[in-house]
Amino acid sequence: ILNVEQSPQSLHVQEGDSTNFTCSFPSSNFYALHWYRWETAKSPEALFVMTLNGDEKKKGRISATLNTKEGYSYLYIKGSQPEDSATYLCAFKTSGTYKYIFGTGTRLKVLA
Amino acid sequence: ETGVTQTPRHLVMGMTNKKSLKCEQHLGHNAMYWYKQSAKKPLELMFVYNFKEQTENNSVPSRFSPECPNSSHLFLHLHTLQPEDSALYLCASSLGGQGTEAFFGQGTRLTVV
């Protein structure tokens, strides 16, 4: 059974704070690691797709890193804003399949 | 707007009813997915289709019956469901390659009474 774990499950931060979340995944048969943002009443939307060990991706104030050898990825948000409030999901993909295996997500609430 | 459309958005059905969920994408994707989101659980993969062929069935009970007539359309036929099947059902599509993400619909909120 493939297990993808995310921590923390939820957190509240003040506007302007920086924060980070962790995604742990199996280190064998790695193919890709995805991060999604899921806002209430909307569809999950992809933030990053990461495929190589040591990958670092950035989009505005949000960035992510990947370590496939030890099986973890970090998502960082710098200077959190209320509009960053959402559930952040990571998804792991193994080679040879079309499956995306999701973690339970980290629910972020940014307080103004 | 992600390019993946699900209907209906909300559905209430009795345990003896038969209903269907519909998903449509015109993104040129070849892979389509059904996921189930229950409270406090991760998105749970149900079925995967690639070029209309089912490639994954994640031990889903037979009261859920998928259908993929072409690469743009995916259905989930529901019959004799249980109250514990109440959940958000999400459809997604992708190109299936290593660097490609999934695009999701907004989901169908299903309540079984």
What is the mean pLDDT for each group of 10 consecutive residues in chain B (113 residues)? Answer: 92 95 95 93 93 91 96 96 96 86 95 96
Task: Please give the structure tokens belonging to residue A75.
Answer: 């998502």
Interface with A, mutate which of B101, B103, B106, B108 (most A CBs under 10 A): B101
What residues pair up with B78 in beta bridges, in sequence order? B19, B64
pLDDT, block means (10 residues), chain A with 112 residues: 89 97 92 95 94 95 97 97 97 86 95 94
Beta-carbon count within 10 A of B18 CB: 12
Nearest C-alpha in B relative to A98? B96
Closest C-alpha among A2, A7, A74, A9 to residue A35 = A74
Nearest to A43 among B41, B48, B105 (CB): B105
Contact B98 A51 (CB under 8 A): yes
Contacts of A101 in chain B (CB under 8 A): 45
* Unique residue bearing structure tokens 């992510």: A64
Angstroms from B25 CA to nearest CA on chain A: 14
What residues pair up with A108 in beta bridges, in sequence order? A11, A86
Can the peptide bond before residue B69 be classed as cis, meaning omega within 30 degrees of 0? no
List the helix and strand counts (H, then E) for chain A: 0, 11
How, if at all, do strands A101-102 and B53-57 pair?
unpaired
> Going along chain B, which residue ranges are E strands?
4-7, 10-13, 18-25, 31-37, 44-50, 53-57, 64-70, 73-79, 87-94, 103-104, 108-112
Contact A102 B43 (CB under 8 A): yes
Angstroms from B100 CA to nearest CA on chain A: 7
Contact A32 B99 (CB under 8 A): yes
Nearest C-alpha in A relative to B97? A98
Report pLDDT digits (tens) over B25-57: 999 999 999 999 998 888 999 999 999 999 989
The pLDDT, as a whole number, for residue A1 is: 62
- The count of residues in chain B is 113
Nearest to B56 among A44, A51, A99 (CB): A99
Beta-carbon count within 10 A of B92 CB: 27
**Cβ(A40)–Cβ(B101) under 8 Å?**
no
H helix intervals, A1-112: none
Give the whole-angstrom CA distance, residue B79 versus residue B90: 18
